[in-house]
Amino acid sequence: MAESAGFIPVIGLEVHAQLLTRTKMFCRCPAVFGAEPNTMVCPVCLGLPGALPSVNRKAVSMAVRLGLALGCRIEGESVFARKNYFYPDAPRNYQISMYDRPLCSGGGLRFEDGEEEVSVGLERIHLEDDAGKLLHGRSGHSLIDFNRCGTPLVEIVTLPEIDSPRRASLFLQNLRHVLSYLGICDGNLEEGSMRVDVNISMRRRDDKALGTRTEIKNLNSFKAVEAGLEMEIDRQRKVLRSGGSVVQVTNLWDAGEKRLVTMRRKEQAHDYRYFPEPDLPTLVVDAAWIEDERAKIPELPLERARRFRREYGLSAYDARVLTAESDIADYFEKTAGMTGEPKMTANWVMRDVLREIKTYGGDTGSFPVGPEELSGLIGLIKDGVISTSAGTEVFTGMLGSGEGALEAVRRLGLERISEKDEIEAIVERVLGSCPDEVERYRGGKRQLIKFFVGQVMKESAGKADPKVATELLRRRLDS
Amino acid sequence: MSGLAGKSVGELLALYRKGRASPAEAVADCIDAIDSRDMAVGAFLEVFRDEAMSRAEELENEDPESLPLYGIPVAVKDNICTRGLPTTCASRMLSGYRPPYDATAVERLSAAGAVLVGKTNMDEFAMGSSSEHSAFRRVINPWNEECAPGGSSGGSAAAVSAGMVPAALGSDTGGSIRQPSSFCGVTGLKGTYGRISRYGLVAFASSFDQIGPIASDAEGCALLMQALSGPDGKDSTAISEDCPDLLCALDGGLSGITFGVPEELGGWDLDRAASSALDEACRAVSAFGEAPERVALPGMETSIACYYVIANAEASSNLARFDGVRYGLRESSDSLYSLYASTRTEGFGEEVKRRILLGTYVLSAGYYEAYYGKAQSVRKMIRKAYRDVFSRIDLLMLPTTPGPAFRLGERLDDPVSMYLSDIFTTPANIAGLPAISIPAGLSAEGLPIGIQLVAGAGREDLLLRGARGLEKIFRFRERFVPGGGEA
């Protein structure tokens, strides 16, 4: 096989995640999205002459929590550093980041790829502040909105050990779930609250040495990550197979055209002249602080999925889907607890709830069918009051009205008919209107029983209990 | 009452408390003095006549005993932010810039009852030792108009020396308060690093910069330091403990204090005035107790190199924000990079550019370890050497500068000789220690020369006690006045 003799990709990721703190990283300005431009600013985040940063301890707490959740070593002492570069969205023309002494080192993220559990190691996690936003006008000049400037970010850097675009995307999706479980980032790639840069090189299958790496920035969706990586792997492979060598380059993902655009080459690479930030003392995180944060870590998605499989007998896939978002997992657990029917509950949540809750921004709090209501509905189906198919109609009714399951069933007139007299009358009508089929059934075509049951269901608008109907039909036809 | 502007802070407070003068009279007298003398001296870049007068009148309703700096007219160096009032750092880059906030030091001055009368001239962005690097006007030494007042806080020192204000704020990164105080015959204090919040001080070299007072005597410095110091949530490098009580410490006397004199001084070509002032101080100290111990301070000769590497590295980054995009000067241009280049070319003076280039170089990939890294190791060694010294003695005593004020223009074309005038002052910044310069005598040419005291970290109390003790021996203020020789 050609592949076995060829090159395999080596991928590393750098993820920037905006922390959900109330205020910014180094000042007290509100860290909010969508305010009027340049209204959430002060001398500190505008980098005015003389202004000084002071560290938001909540942001440190969140980063420590993330580090602990990912098994990192939390450094007792870490050092903020200045990353110097000129750009109009950075008002000091340096970013306050961390360099040779980051807050967290090592660790990794474990996640499931199908039935396989995999792990991607981390190099580091550090804190830094975000830049402002440039708005390029048509008239040729640009405007700057500094509201985002100073928003706390964690940068999560993986080891270069991911071997496929699909796995890179899976890593990111699972990381997003962990961030959301910890309540420290909403992980929205499209809105930029989570941003991904990738680096990629190729190595020979039989050789550990990595080739020259290239970078892709601006990947604004999981699909873009996969597509951009596929394209770059393809390109590097072609270069190497034709005997050429890969040149160090930084590419931008063009989301509109779905292609890679070269941003800068090696000779244009920045010298950031990092040095320790003299305006901030060494960041000291003591054991008590670390233990406080450890205590705040909830059961994480991977562990929760395992428990769902064990406790509720769910498949690996179902458990993974249900535990991706902690709100949904909570919703499922509450509902399943009330119904005592975890599998049936899982089906309802995965099919109906997950489909409809998108309209509510995935927020279980504002979703009209709460665990109580859904468990009511499942109970009615389990008790045979309504059919499964009527259940879907009831669910839709409940969504629109916000009423309980029983009220919706009554309003919609969907209670199952199980009274023998009533069904008997329908059976009589059906048999009377289909003399040919009755004759053929009696002539030995027994499978026609399904046709008759179908007719009864149709005649009863789906409300007849099919078991009772079958029994009555057999009794009449076989006698 | 005239001559109020030339009073010391303590004298003025006493007059107010006895009801023999009012803040309005003192402020009016300062403004008169500025109007009549500053045309020649060039100490001020901006005078707030109306604002100062109305603030002084407001104070008439307050009890003089209730505020520690009640009605004291104070000039502030122009690299300290004053809300809505020009703050230019004596640079074209910030010409017309009015910050939207007050520095913590300015807030504390106002809260203590002081009256801001104006902003003082300086070397551009505090880079220089002669105040000749001001983009706007030169400052002369009130003792001799052909001599430099020193720098970078030359305007503040000259304003106090020429009797235009009783006190002023300066900033000291490598000696910028103490060196001009020595040249101008006034007292200048730099506290322990972090003693006064740097919030609102336009940064030159963040790990060295300290705001501090310049006054005609140690008591004035103590009064201002007490009001300005203290923890500040806006400056993470500010000391979290309060300053010791300096006013109590002031009159503790010289007995019981152990002094040291650096051994290495022998290797320096000291001006005769500097060595005789030091000798006099040593004799006086010996009369109260033991003779000063000779202490070894290895690394003194490397301190200037260490200082200029780290300070310029920090400066290159601190001054990156002046790019024409958001405030200050903007040169017209057709692209982003030409906007940066033309604004910074036009906006910065030669010395500032030289330091930005040096600082950028020492942080560059491939050079970082050889320069910045090595300078940080030297800094650690110097800190340790000083810690060891202050485990044995209380105060280190040495000349503030190797000689008195040099002539204007004399060192302008020789940056290294200019840098060397900071040789005795930079170690205190490198080690973050409190230090004070007090006027000791006059040179043969009639120029003042200062003696410097350095204390261990946090020991401003010992420092001021020593300074006051020596002040009583030198009796400089009683003996000499600028331009007039003997008082």
Minimal C-alpha gap between B475 and chain A (Å):
38
CB contact under 8 A, A48 and B327: yes
Given a cut of 60, whether residue B285 has pLDDT beyond it is yes
Angstrom distance (rounded) from CA B333 to CA B336:
8
Minimal C-alpha gap between B217 and chain A (Å):
29
Interfacial residues of B (vs A; Cβ cutoff 8 Å) = 79-81, 87, 89, 94, 97, 99-101, 103, 198-203, 205-207, 233-237, 313-314, 316-317, 320-323, 325-327, 336, 340, 360, 363-365, 368, 372
The predicted pLDDT at position B487 comes to 47
At CB < 8 A and 24+ separation, what contacts does A469-475 make?
A469/A423, A469/A426, A469/A427, A472/A420, A472/A423, A472/A424, A472/A427, A473/A427, A473/A431, A473/A449, A474/A449
Angstrom distance (rounded) from CA B223 to CA B215:
10
Least confident of A315-324, A380-389, B303-312, B470-479: A380-389
Respond yes or no: is residue B18 known to be catalytic.
no
The predicted pLDDT at position B269 comes to 82
Q: Which tokens in the block code for residue B268?
A: 């320096």
User: In the block, which residue shows the tokens 């050889």?
Assistant: B370
Section B301-309 average pLDDT: 92
CB contact under 8 A, A49 and B372: no
Closest to A94 in 3D by CA, of A282, A281, A276 = A276
Angle at A54 between CA A52 and CA A55, to 5 degrees: 150
Minimal C-alpha gap between B236 and chain A (Å):
6
Q: Which chain B residues are Cβ-neighbours of A38 within 8 angstroms?
A: none
Task: State yes or no: cis peptide before B152, omega within 30 of 0.
Answer: yes
Question: What size, in residues, is chain B?
Answer: 487
Angstrom distance (rounded) from CA B198 to CA B209:
8
Section A113-127 average pLDDT: 95
Minimal C-alpha gap between B358 and chain A (Å):
13
The predicted pLDDT at position B333 comes to 86
B278 pLDDT band, cuts 50/70/90, is very high
The predicted pLDDT at position A3 comes to 46
CB contact under 8 A, A92 and B201: no
Minimal C-alpha gap between A271 and chain B (Å):
6
A71 pLDDT band, cuts 50/70/90, is very high
Section B455-479 average pLDDT: 97
Given a cut of 50, whether residue B358 has pLDDT beyond it is yes
Q: What is the mean pLDDT of chain A?
A: 92
Angstrom distance (rounded) from CA B453 to CA B284:
14
The predicted pLDDT at position B1 comes to 59
Section B8-31 average pLDDT: 97
- DSSP letter for A281, please: P
Angstrom distance (rounded) from CA A199 to CA A398:
48
Least confident of A226-240, A412-426, B193-207: A412-426
Contact A251, A233 (CB under 8 A): no
ipTM surpasses 0.90: yes
The predicted pLDDT at position A286 comes to 98
CB contact under 8 A, B235 and A52: yes
A1 pLDDT band, cuts 50/70/90, is very low
Section A65-89 average pLDDT: 97
Q: Which chain B residues are Cβ-neighbours of A274 within 8 angstroms?
A: 363
Mutate to test the interface with B, among A275, A282, A284 (most CBs of B within 10 A): A275
CB contact under 8 A, A86 and B320: yes
Q: How many CA atoms lie within 13 A of A255 on its CB side?
A: 11
The predicted pLDDT at position A353 comes to 95
User: In the block, which residue shows the tokens 């030995």?
Assistant: A444
A194 phi/psi in degrees, rounded to 5: -135, 130
Q: Which chain A residues are Cβ-neighbours of B358 within 8 angstroms?
A: none
Least confident of A240-254, B37-51, B316-330: A240-254
Least confident of A177-186, B26-35, B262-271, B302-311: B262-271
Given a cut of 50, whether residue A425 has pLDDT beyond it is yes
Angstrom distance (rounded) from CA A250 to CA A117:
32
The residue from B8, B22, B134, B176 that is catalytic is: B176
Chain B CA closest to residue A85: B320
Q: What percent of chain A has pLDDT over 90?
A: 71
Respond yes or no: is residue B77 known to be catalytic.
yes
Chain A CA closest to residue B207: A278
**pTM, full prediction:** 0.91
Interfacial residues of A (vs B; Cβ cutoff 8 Å) = 43, 46-55, 82, 84, 86, 88, 91-94, 144, 271, 273-275, 278-281
Strands (E), B30-166: 44-47, 73-77, 115-120
CB contact under 8 A, B100 and A82: no
Q: What is the mean pLDDT of chain B?
A: 95
The predicted pLDDT at position A2 comes to 42
Q: Which tokens in the block code for residue B365?
A: 């990939």
Given a cut of 60, whether residue B194 has pLDDT beyond it is yes
Q: What percent of chain B has pLDDT over 70?
A: 99
The residue from B91, B134, B152, B182 that is catalytic is: B152
Q: Which chain B residues are Cβ-neighbours of A280 within 8 angstroms?
A: 236-237
Encode pLDDT of A332-352 as tens digits. Answer: 999 999 999 999 999 999 999
Closest to A342 in 3D by CA, of A328, A327, A331, A332 = A332
Angstrom distance (rounded) from CA B271 to CA B281:
16
Whole-Å CA distances, B13 to A18, A296, B72, B201, B381: 54, 57, 8, 27, 44
Encode pLDDT of B383-421 as tens digits. Answer: 999 999 999 999 999 999 999 999 999 998 888 888 888
Contact A374, A402 (CB under 8 A): no
Q: Which tokens in the block code for residue B2?
A: 């005239």
CB contact under 8 A, B198 and A52: yes
Given a cut of 90, whether residue B266 has pLDDT beyond it is no
CB contact under 8 A, B206 and A279: yes
Respond yes or no: is residue B380 known to be catalytic.
no
Closest to A350 in 3D by CA, of A324, A313, A388, A311 = A324
Minimal C-alpha gap between B18 and chain A (Å):
39
Encode pLDDT of A346-405 as tens digits. Answer: 999 999 999 999 889 888 999 999 999 999 999 988 887 888 888 898 999 999 888 888
